[in-house]
Structure 1
């Protein structure tokens, strides 16, 4: 697979279309200066910048692995943007999110993935389960699949709950070597029969260079302020350390996922 380092565009919001009252991040549908619609994830909502970091890292890791993720862009919100918003809750959210935020291209006409309607073939199911074990994504359950069907293809969205350990920053090496217990609730686990083959393939793709190129995308302003690390670069390095350590010990989460699957079937 050919890999090019990601280059994210930065767009400016021109119109707030409507709130999408889903989950804790209170995303909004917005129109940008390029006339495209985006699902905007606000820095001032829910878990703040950490949710945006998780969305960015998870989305670009998925893209590097060949999985379908809507284009991710940086979004600037001007100080004056929220002044005309009549909803006080939304106005507060916009004020708290001035500066750099994150958005995903809006997949117009897409429908929520339903495992009872659409069958995912084993290889793709294994790829998605493997990714979610790597990034510790707790949000891919039957109740909340965070996947869309668009033009008869499966797309991954909403990764703000991934890397959940970064809300407390425990020992990174220890955390990276833990199995992903929540995989037992993964909506695609029953179909994920090719985890070992996918593990070998994906470990070869996610080289240290690929990981560092993706982590480098995290803006400094999301890594400073409420941070346990002295500098933004040291903060980035902890994400690199987690991912490299977790990849080196991937058999731990692969074996745990296989055991959880056996218990299901």
Structure 2
């Protein structure tokens, strides 16, 4: 497993290549000043900066646990960048996303994971199910797996729909210990036969210090909930939510096991 702390680079967009018209957030392939292509997630789209926060936290927790995750980078978008864009919808998206955004390294040639074609070992399936139950990630279903095959390895992408508690943060304590019933729709649940063993292994890696390090990565500009007096106060809710879920992981593990028993 990977035990290094995450370090995120910051790049600047130099070229908008093409929109990825999947879902409502209109991510795009863009080129940055380091010469690489990225899948750019915009702060001005759909769920706004909260989707970027979920992407950041979910991606870096997944990386800590040893999963293959495209590199995440902070991306600056200049105010003048969208002025020549002919598509009005994209022009508005770029205008409302000026400043700091988030992107994943573009995996050129990757193909969408197909569970009917690619065999996933029970241990790996259990690890991914556990991760998504921790993060309350509703978006790893057969309809939309958010997994890619690249160089014959399984890569996880797109955690922007995770941590949905932050859309009503005043109830975070209640949501932190709530069973994740949506796990019943997880594309890998049927194969997740080693959840208890994975639970013991993964909880050791996700220490409070690591959780704090990850939430401290959230830029101030993304913490826009005015019900909090400071950005740090809002960051601490994320840390407390995740630590509480980890302390009570038996709840979401049992829910996943029960859901799986109805499938086999």
Shorter-normalised TM range: over 0.9
Corresponding residue for 2:260?
A: 261
Give structure 1 stretches of 5+ with no counterpart.
none
Instruction: Provide the rounded CA distance (Å) in 1 between the counterparts of 2:227 and 2:98.
Output: 23
Q: Contact 2:2 / 2:65 at 8 angstroms: preserved in 1?
A: no
Partner residue, 2:132: 132
Residue 72 of structure 1 corresponds to which residue in structure 2?
72
What SS is found at the alignment partner of 1:23? coil
1-structure distance, mates of 2:90, 2:249: 41
Say if 2:196 is the partner of 1:196.
yes
- Superposed CA offset, 1:99-141 (max 9, x none): 0000000000000001111111000000000000000000000
Instruction: Tell me how far apart the structure 1 counterparts of residues 194 and 77 of structure 2 sit (CA, whole Å).
Output: 43
**SS of residue paired to 1:118:** coil
The unaligned stretches of length 5 or more in structure 2 are none
1:88 match: 88
Name the counterpart of 2:229.
230
What CA deviation, in whole Å up to 9, does each residue of 1:163-203 have, x standing for no partner?
01111114222211111000000000001000000000000
Q: Return the alpha-carbon distance in structure 1 between the equivalents of residues 18 and 156 of structure 2.
A: 22
Q: Secondary structure at the match of 1:35?
A: coil
Supply the distance in 1 between the matched residues of 2:2 and 2:52 (Cα, whole angstroms): 27
SS of the aligned residue for 2:169 comes to: coil
How is 1:28-47 mapped onto 2 (pairs within 5 angstroms)? 28-47=28-47
* Rounded Cα–Cα distance in structure 2 between residues aligned with 1:85 and 1:115: 38
Over 6 Å off, 4+ runs: none
Cα RMSD over matched residues? 0.8
Q: CA deviation at 1:24?
A: 1.9
Q: CA deviation at 1:23?
A: 1.2
Could you tell me how far apart the structure 2 residues matched to 1:158 and 1:65 are? 16
**SS where residue 211 of structure 1 aligns?**
helix
Cα deviation code 1:77-103 (max 9, x no counterpart): 000000111111111100000000000
- Residues in 2 aligned to 1:129 and 1:80: alpha-carbon distance in whole angstroms: 42
Q: Displacement of 1:43 after TM fit?
A: 0.3
Report how far residue 2 of structure 1 moved. 5.3
CA distance 1:237–1:198, change in 2 (3 Å): same
Q: Per-residue displacement from partner, 1:213-252 (whole Å, max 9, x unpaired)?
A: 111100001013x432111000000000000000000000
Matches within 5 A, 1:70-219: 70-219=70-219
- Size of the aligned set, in residue pairs, is 264
State how far apart, in whole Å, the 2-side matches of 1:88 and 1:159 are. 27
Distance 1:174 1:208 in 2: 20
TM-score by length of 2: 0.98
Q: Matched residue of 1:230: which SS?
A: coil
- Scaled by the length of structure 1, the TM-score of the pair is 0.98
- The answer on whether the counterparts of 2:40 and 2:101 sit within 8 Å (CA) in structure 1 is yes
Deviations 1:36-59, CA, capped at 9 Å, x for gaps: 000000000000000000000000
